[in-house]
Amino acid sequence: METRPPCWPDRMPCPNDCAAKLLNQHAHNHVELTGPWSGWKLRGRDLVSPTGLRLSPERVAGLAWREHNEAWLESKKARAAAAAKARGQQPVKVVVITLADYRQNGIAAG
């Protein structure tokens, strides 16, 4: 059984476009989005991009989770770098020399 708007009596053809649009929104969750979301649609459970890519609620939640955590990680890295700079710490350069190759005043270390 479909939910019909009050302006659309049972067993009657659709009276107008507004009633058909309202039926699609409430009964089938078919919504055309506007503003910055222009071109995007809700179709049942899925968010559909202008190119036709369907995103489930779980996929959108996963993408939002990843975006949030990547931003959090970047802010942590930026804060650590700023703190290190404020303390005057510089990266340490490590040089490895094998003893067989080390000579001082012509004498080999060993």
Q: What DSSP assignment string belongs to 28-74? A: S-EEE--GGGTT-EEETTEEE-TT--EE-HHHHHHHHHHHHHHHHHH
Interatomic CA distance for residues 40 and 24, integer angstroms = 16
Please report the pLDDT score of residue 1 as a whole number.
46
Model pLDDT, residue 74 = 97
pLDDT of residue 39: 92
- Residue 6 is predicted with a pLDDT of 65
Average pLDDT over residues 73-101: 82
pLDDT of residue 109: 59
Model confidence, pTM: 0.53
pLDDT digits (tens, 9 = 90+) for 20-51: 777 777 777 888 888 999 999 988 889 999 99
